[in-house]
Structure 1
Amino acid sequence: GTFFYRDFSYSRIMTVYFWIFCNIFLLLSHQLVRLFIKEAHRRGLGLRKVLVIGSGELGQRVVQKLNMYPEIGFTVVGYLTCNSEDVGSDIEGGKVLGLYEDLNRTIKEYDVSQVFIALPLNANDRLEGVLASLEEETVDIKLVPDLLSYLDLHSGIEELDGMPLINLTESPLYGWNTLLKRASDIFLSGIAILITLPIMFLIAIVVKLGSRGPLLYKQERMGLDRDVFIMYKFRSMKIGAENQTGPVWAKKDDDRRTSVGSFLRSTSLDELPQLFNVLMGQMSLVGPRPERPIFVEQFKKSIPFYMHRLKMKAGLTGWAQVNGWRGNTSLEKRIEFDLYYIKNWSLLFD
């Protein structure tokens, strides 16, 4: 029986060496394959000739993107246009070879294997004619929709039972993303409340002794998908601060502040009760700062893509605040940083 049994013993250092060298060889092999493909393409081997139908801004952006990645093996032979005056002119990365009516001739003359249709929205009436002409050819056809100016927030292409769908705007909070962000908010806000509870208790005493009025300031704010909730803060303003002015933003050295409130606002300690908003699921630890509904109605009319902020749960702090755009600073810069955060969101980013 012992003839068939062997007691193998592997050195741990040999296992480490094996893992290191495997990764090195894998990396080198990938680089060698890339170099081989690049050299083959440089010599004209394996190249796919591309004809772009549409010489406008959309068509030129397609060519620009194709030229950015030569390793994929596309070479642009030129454009077709609807404007006879443009024929023969050189534009972004290629030459205008003819009109749409010259499609079949151009494909044969330049041995085209890929056709990119990049017509502007106002030229969609020509699409049917172009597709009819392509029925006589064996080229691969790719359609580039003229939606670049509308693609903004987590845009992409999906499929519904064989029907292609183009997402123009979508919140990053869906599926597991929602669950993971909520779980991290519950866990971290719970710990933060336990740690800061003595501090909050001390602040509560100081606020009550510092001026008459309620301990907490409650205010309506607008959060994810326009849901309105009550946000809590330690009161830092005098009673009736907006009776004469109406809803206004707080200013630096605002004379409506109490003596204790000035300190609380400068250190952001007045925001600590919002940990309970986070725990209740109305806010998140990280996200765009929530705004009052009356200001949201104003800003959405004057600031492009302002409402995209509401595709993410409001935060106790945000990417804009971390980068110094907080309080009475440029609203446009805050929106810029908020949108960057939403577009690039991940749990690790938080």
Structure 2
Amino acid sequence: MNGVGSATTSPPVPRRRAARPREASWSDLLRRVNAVAVLLVAVDAVAVAGAVARLRPDWWWAAVVAASLLGARAAGRLYRRRLWLSWLQDLPRSVAATALAFALVTLVGLVADEPARAAQQAVLAFAAAGEPGRLAVFALGRWCRRRFHRCDRAIVVGAGKVGVDLVGAMLAHPEFGLRPVGFVDPEPAVDPAALPVDLLDGDLADEITRLGVGTVVLAFSRTRESSVVDSAITAHRLGCTTLVVPRMYELYQDGPDIERLRSYPLLRLGTAPTTRPAWWVKRGTDVLLAAAALVALSPVIALCALAVLLESGRPVIFRQVRIGMDDQPFVLYKLRSVRMRGEDDSQITWSVVGDRRVGPVGRFLRGTSLDELPQLWNIIRGDMSIVGPRPERPGFVREFSAIHELYWARHRVPTGLTGLAQVHGLRGDTSIVDRSRYDNYYIANWSLWLDVKILLQTVGELLCRRNR
């Protein structure tokens, strides 16, 4: 999707339910700190220290014991946020994590050909001392939620039987840590006067901000499925914990991502990628790789620029307004691959295969993606990332958002030089629906490893010229 000329101004893109993330205040940060999780970490740390002090293994064995126990328990998600504070429910997972730590200590002893008896005894001593502490933490957490109302404000999307039952359970059992403040449902299945909490009139994003909501529960409603997905993305984007009542919930088994509110299973959706610590790793890696690539490839960029200059004159660098994260416009830089002919229509014209304005140099630059190398500067500036949804022009964003559901949702993360849609052949004049679906899949499943896979696939595509 290339054009000609330059553009630095454009009408703002209307936001379609795309609420911008809230600015995090100190009160928000304190509210997000989970006291139960902090206490569980503290109890385990004290239990490890006590077991090591009692059995006195060598210092390096003490380090192996501490790393194995705390690492296995963190990997087993024993320090996660949770609604149901049940020691018995959590006991099998805790025992499994301790058994894994015992196996790791034993394996280290075998590999190092050192006796591991003291370290193994320290693991067993940890279990004996730690479990009563965990029991006390869960009991204290339930008591504090009931006594001091240490509960997260919650909105329920869907004012039907299931939604009413969930709100009733929250009100009757504050030990689950949720305090309902209202329903959001344009077509409530229950008389609003009979609802246990208010039916809110405002937009979900506005109500989340106005009421200081930290959790959104998605129950069944009469509205379209796409509206429920919109609500989930809005809550996700505003940093709320998002819980979903799954279809056929009566058949759901407990699992790592399943919460329990009395008899109802609630599927916990992952947090927004940009709120995770790993996102800072992504940003730092983006800057380092982009800067190194810009320096290393500067001779290539200079040769390409010279070829453009000889074929069609100036300007060599093509500037165009694109839409980035949170619908914010930015100026994207590319090597010009299209001959300039009269008035610039690049903001409203889609360049397709066979465009007569594209000369031999332009075709070569497009075919090898060398025309996109100046976007490394956009990455250093923070306009883009190496991997993410491809940025589009404001006019097309307005058009696609109006006719394609959830196209707007792809702007929850920074746009990218390459992306999941591109490595699956969705470049140029291809399906917008498929692109949007791949982009939203990428955001929902983002991880550093997914970025690495996309980069490897991009290299393979460039070398093999597949999907062209």
TM-score bracket relative to the smaller structure: 0.5 to 0.7
Q: Please, which of 265, 268, 280 is the counterpart of residue 366 of structure 2?
A: 265
Structure having greater relative contact order (Cα 8 Å, sep ≥ 6): 2
User: Pairwise mapping of residues 186-265 of structure 1 onto structure 2 (< 5 A)?
Assistant: 186-240=287-341, 243=344, 247-265=348-366
How far is the alpha carbon of 1:198 from its aligned partner? 1.7
State the 4+ residue runs in structure 1 displaced beyond 2 angstroms.
10-19, 119-122, 124-129, 143-159, 167-172, 174-181, 240-246
CA contact (8 A) 2:388 2:413 kept: yes
> Distance between the aligned counterparts of 1:146 and 1:12, measured in 2?
51
> Distance between the aligned counterparts of 2:322 and 2:364, measured in 1?
23
SS in 2 for 1:324: coil
Unaligned residue ranges in structure 1 (runs of 5+): 1-5, 23-55, 63-79, 81-118, 130-142, 160-166
Opposite residue 122 of structure 1, the aligned amino acid is A
CA contact (8 A) 1:223 1:290 kept: yes
The Cα RMSD (Å) is 4.2
Distance of aligned partners of 1:150 and 1:245 in 2 relative to their CA distance in 1, 3 Å threshold: closer
Larger Rg computed on CA atoms: 1
**What is residue 219 of structure 2 aligned with on the other side?**
145
CA contact (8 A) 2:323 2:393 kept: yes
How far is the alpha carbon of 1:176 from its aligned partner? 2.6
**What is residue 461 of structure 2 aligned with on the other side?**
none
> Distance between the aligned counterparts of 1:245 and 1:273, measured in 2?
18
Tell me whether 1:343 sits opposite 2:439 in the alignment: no
CA contact (8 A) 1:150 1:168 kept: no
Distance of aligned partners of 1:284 and 1:248 in 2 relative to their CA distance in 1, 3 Å threshold: same
> Distance between the aligned counterparts of 1:150 and 1:277, measured in 2?
30
Unaligned residue ranges in structure 2 (runs of 5+): 1-56, 62-106, 121-157, 166-184, 198-216, 222-227, 244-267, 452-468
Q: Please, which of 188, 195, 217 is the counterpart of residue 121 of structure 1?
A: 188
> Distance between the aligned counterparts of 2:333 and 2:431, measured in 1?
24
Q: Deviations over 1:205-243 (max 9, x none)?
A: 111112222111110001011111110110111113664
> Distance between the aligned counterparts of 1:144 and 1:290, measured in 2?
30
User: Pairwise mapping of residues 280-291 of structure 1 onto structure 2 (< 5 A)?
Assistant: 280-291=381-392
Higher strand share goes to which structure?
1
TM-score, normalized by length of structure 2? Answer: 0.44
> Distance between the aligned counterparts of 2:300 and 2:231, measured in 1?
46
SS in 1 for 2:356: coil
How far is the alpha carbon of 1:304 from its aligned partner? 0.5
SS in 2 for 1:240: coil
**What is residue 14 of structure 1 aligned with on the other side?**
110
SS in 1 for 2:332: strand
CA contact (8 A) 1:151 1:169 kept: no
Structure 1 window deviating more from structure 2 (277-286 vs 186-195): it is 186-195
> Distance between the aligned counterparts of 2:396 and 2:348, measured in 1?
9
Q: Please, which of 385, 410, 416 is the counterpart of residue 309 of structure 1?
A: 410
Q: Deviations over 1:147-174 (max 9, x none)?
A: 6454443746379xxxxxxx99974212
TM-score, normalized by length of structure 1? Answer: 0.57
> Distance between the aligned counterparts of 1:238 and 1:329, measured in 2?
23
How far is the alpha carbon of 1:248 from its aligned partner? 1.2
Distance of aligned partners of 1:168 and 1:249 in 2 relative to their CA distance in 1, 3 Å threshold: farther
